[in-house]
Amino acid sequence: MVSRAHGLRPAVFLDRDGVIVVPEFRDRRSFAPRRLGDFRLYPEAAASLKKLKQAGFLLAVVTNQPDVGNGLVDRSEVDAMHEIITHELPVDTIKACFHRQVDDCNCRKPKPGMILEAASELGVDLTKSFMVGARATLRRAVRPGALPFSSISAMPCPRRILPITSRVRSPKPPTSSSRPF
């Protein structure tokens, strides 16, 4: 667990697919791209994340990639996608869970393992941080009342993070009722 020591910084934890990466759609559902040739960042992602950085937030991408664990995608393919993200976007870290859905690991969202790992590594103040996800089920990853959550729908017309960043201000100090995980 991250302590509340002096010097911790606020962060935005970003889901990858449907938030900064254009998902693939099959049977009216969104999925992570499986091939590097199909991998595309949303056009406004760089400008939106830059606004968050200018407001003082660290940026951590936290993503489930079970297609690797299921043998549908090579890990090197996903690593190449993440290399694009780190070169094109001002993110501080990318945390990925490659386990299958049935593996019951601690890192797979909606469990908070990746969030806590990134927070520890980056020195994040979770009381001043929030999560942006493409699926409402991710709300469980931030535990009710512990970390604000903003859901972005990728269906039918992606809203992505642009509307959120138009309202971003520098982080406020936590209230006495703010409590991290």
- Which residues are catalytically annotated? 15, 17
Q: Are 180 and 2 in contact (CB under 8 A)?
A: yes
Place of tokens 């590097």: 36
Q: Structure tokens of 68?
A: 């690797």
Following CA atoms 65, 67, 69, 71 in sequence, which dihedral angle do they give, to the nearest 10 degrees? -160
> How many helices (H) and strands (E) are present in the chain, helices listed first?
5, 7
The token pair that represents 73 in the structure block: 């995608």
Phi, psi of 148 (to 5 degrees): -55, 145
The verdict on whether omega for the bond into residue 43 sits within 30 degrees of 0, i.e. cis, is no
Q: How far is CA 16 from CA 86, 133, 173, 176, in A?
A: 12, 8, 27, 32
